[in-house]
Amino acid sequence: MESRPLDALNQARNQRVIVELKNNKQLVGKLVSFDIHINVVLDECEERVDGEMKRKLGTVFIRGDTIILLSME
């Protein structure tokens, strides 16, 4: 069977991912969960701007429609 995009997210569970947002910020953290809207929960999340760590955010719920992409480290 051919793979689907959510399969890639499923394989990234419990691993560190980088989430790029439409406001040019990046959130880096452990992928806890996601749904079909690409709402995402990250643990041990840090915010980066231009690659530089800005803030520690702990556990974060990110609304899917603000996400450009997720990359797996």
| 4 to 23: interface string for a copy of itself, x by CB under 8 A | xxxxxx---x-------xxx
Residues touching a copy of itself, count (CB under 8 A): 39
Write the DSSP symbol of residue 38. -
Question: Minimum Å distance from CB 8 to a copy of itself?
Answer: 4
Residue 50 as a binder of a copy of itself (CB under 8 A): the answer is no
Residue 54 as a binder of a copy of itself (CB under 8 A): the answer is no
Residue 53 as a binder of a copy of itself (CB under 8 A): the answer is no
Question: Minimum Å distance from CB 33 to a copy of itself?
Answer: 5
Residues of the chain by 3-state class (helix, strand, coil), percent to 5: 15, 60, 25
DSSP 21-41: ETTSEEEEEEEEEE-TT--EE
- Whole-number Å distance between alpha carbons of 14 and 25: 22
